[in-house]
Amino acid sequence: MKFTVADNPTGTNIVSLADMKEFLRVDHSDEDTTISEIITSAAIAVQDYTGRVFVSTTYTLNLDYFHNTEIPAEIGSVTSVTYYDSANAEQTLDASKYYYDASREPARIAFLDPPSTFDDRFNAVTITGGMGKQAIPPIKHAIKMLAAHYYENRRAVIVGVRSASKIPLGIEAILNPYRIISLV
């Protein structure tokens, strides 16, 4: 699945620079650019871990052929379904030919009597829609904690200390209830 962020793709849309600097107890502006980049990195890591997106985003999901499937993320809508017909011409599927369930996590889409697609083509079907919800306080706190971890540990390897290669345990504990786990 490919996500295209509809607005400014920075983590400061989720956690502001001022809030992060207060959390870090930084009272100068010398590292504002670095802190903003760290917030973005932490927000992306949290979004990847939870399977959720916390800014307004457009997603596209490509399938090789029509089949009922889960959309491996939390979605708000399906705006269009396009496909390449048996003559390899791009078509838009009528909205009456599919339905989706966005109340379930992960969301799912089903097709009613779908047309044939071009056989010798990958990604013959493209589902497009909108997603993104506002981050709730525990999510924002986890982003701040991870950003603080990145801020304090700026190197990939810390000499004399065993470094974890995944999200620190306390942050996982905060995020686990909000994860979307697909069983497919």
Residue 180 has pLDDT above 90, yes or no: no
Peptide bond between residue 106 and the one before it cis (omega within 30 degrees of 0): yes
Write out pLDDT tens, residues 123-143: 999 999 888 777 889 999 999
**Listed range (40-54, 98-112, 154-168) with the worst mean pLDDT:** 154-168
- The answer to whether the predicted template modeling score (pTM) of the entire model surpasses 0.85 is no
Predicted pLDDT of residue 78: 92
Residues of the chain with pLDDT > 70, as a percent, come to 86
SS3 for the chain, per residue?
CEEEECCCCCHHHCCCHHHHHHHHCCCCCCCHHHHHHHHHHHHHHHHHHHCCCCCCEEEEEEECCCCCEEECCCCCEEEEEEEECCCCCEEECCHHHEEEECCCCCEEEEECCCCCCCCCCCCCEEEEEEECCCCCHHHHHHHHHHHHHHHHCCCCCCCCCCCCCCCCHHHHHHHHHHCCCCCC
More confidently predicted of 44 and 157:
44
Write out pLDDT tens, residues 5-39: 544 456 888 999 999 999 999 999 999 999 999 99
Q: What is the average pLDDT value for the chain, to the nearest integer?
A: 86
Residue 4 has pLDDT above 60, yes or no: no
Write out pLDDT tens, residues 91-124: 999 999 999 998 888 889 999 999 999 988 999 9
The CATH number fitting domain 2-54+134-178, selected from 3.30.390.50, 3.60.21.10, 1.10.3230.30, 3.40.50.1220: 1.10.3230.30
